[in-house]
Amino acid sequence: MDISKTNRLSLVEQIVSQMETLIESNSWPVGSRIPPELELMQQFDVSRNTLREAIRALVHAGLLQTKQGSGTFVCSSSVLGAALEKRIQKANLLETLEVRHALEREAAQLAAMRRDKEDINRLQEKLKACQIAAEQGNSKLYVEADFELHKSIVEASHNSILIDLYEHMTIPLQTSIQNLADITTHTDFHIGIHEKLIEAILEQNSSQATDSVNEYIAQFKETLK
């Protein structure tokens, strides 16, 4: 029987792996500037060339961004997130909406089956925030509250992969909602549909939950036309 040789990570790959861990654990949050070269060279006990090669690899992967005269900043929380963001930037609004539909439909169905007491409290809180924003006629506040509501539904699915995928699509999903808000007013988002969706999840009616998602996505598509 052939036995494959074990792969030994190069020094650069080891540094890249450690940096990825710092980013994914939020020790280096998105938007933050990473420590200066000398500090990192001492921390990782590597040469300047090795460190710079590792940083270049992470810049190429989309996790870091180097700004001339300012330093190097974290621009994504994971390689998956960076790859998704690059791909979605090339997609049109309808394609993004279709992906959003698939994720939120599955999340609503799972949330209806798996939601717990903590999820219920959070969903009710986020729905209330949407209602208040709509009553105030504050479109910007509504968009933010609406996204937080849908994010809470996804979290209530208790599916870690689904949660990660949705989390990494945060920016393009927010953009899709904002674009729709630019096309129409907040009243067109129909708070009633969101109320039906949350009620279905609380009552563990997965069929009604997915129907509600289908309904508001269909309205969004109609708005785009």
In the chain, CATH 1.10.10.10 sits at: 11-76
Q: What is the pTM of this model?
A: 0.68
Summarize the confidence of residues 39-60 as an average pLDDT.
Answer: 94
* Numbered ranges of CATH 1.20.120.530 in the chain: 81-224
Q: Is the dihedral of CA 187, 192, 195, 200 positive or negative?
A: negative
Show the CA angle centred on residue 162, arms to residues 117 and 206, nearest 5°: 55
Q: 68-111 pLDDT, tens per residue?
A: 888 999 988 777 667 677 676 666 777 878 888 999 999 999 99
Count Cβ atoms within 10 A of the Cβ of residue 219 and give its class: 0-12 exposed, 13-18 middle, 19 or more buried.
middle
Q: 72 — alpha (psi -120 to 50), left (phi > 0) or beta?
A: beta
Tokens standing for residue 132: 């208040």
CATH architecture of 81-224: Up-down Bundle (1.20)
**What's 11-76's CATH class?**
mainly alpha
Question: 175-208 b/e with 16+ CB inside 10 Å = b?
Answer: ebbbbbbeeeebeebebebbebbbebbbeebbeb
Encode pLDDT of 115-147 as tens digits.
999 999 999 999 999 999 888 888 788 888 888
Q: Which two tokens stand for residue 104?
A: 């939120």
pLDDT of 3 strictly over 90: no
Q: Give the separation between CA 112 and CA 188, rounded to whole angstroms.
A: 25
